[in-house]
Amino acid sequence: MTTDPQKPTRHVPVDEIISHHEASTPERLRSEPGAEQKSVPTIVTFPSRPNRSRLPLLIGIMFILLMGGGGVWYWWASGAPPIHYKTLPVERGPITAIVTATGTINP
């Protein structure tokens, strides 16, 4: 490829695709003795890297963590209010019993 904008890019047809392992073996070791060697354009495949930015992923993770933290805080802060009992000191006195009924009461 050229970086000169005046020169057009050449397109060459690809006849075969070889793996990275085959590309590391020299051509002279792969061919049989006496066989005719021809030049075939090949493409060497390498492991692909994601060409996307990781910023959207990081923003998504931060959003999920913030929402989870906010939910935990809301659940913890909005619990039932504590129960407060009114207490008085104990006094000695007579016990009064009241009975409410309809009809006849037998002693």
List pLDDT tens digits, range 21-37: 555 555 555 555 555 55
Q: What is the DSSP code (8-state) at residue 73?
A: H
How far apart, in Å, are the Cα atoms of 93 and each of 48, 71, 90, 97, 98? 91, 53, 10, 13, 16
Residue predicted with more confidence, 99 or 72: 72
Cα distance between residue 103 and residue 86, in whole Å = 38
Q: For residue 43, what pLDDT band results from cuts at 50, 70 and 90?
A: confident
Instruction: Work out the pLDDT band at 65, boundaries 50, 70, 90.
Output: very high
Distance (Å, whole) CA 20 – CA 27: 13
Per-residue pLDDT at 41 exceeds 90:
no
Whether 70 shows a pLDDT value over 90: the answer reads yes
Closest to 44 measured CA to CA, from 25, 28, 13, 23:
23
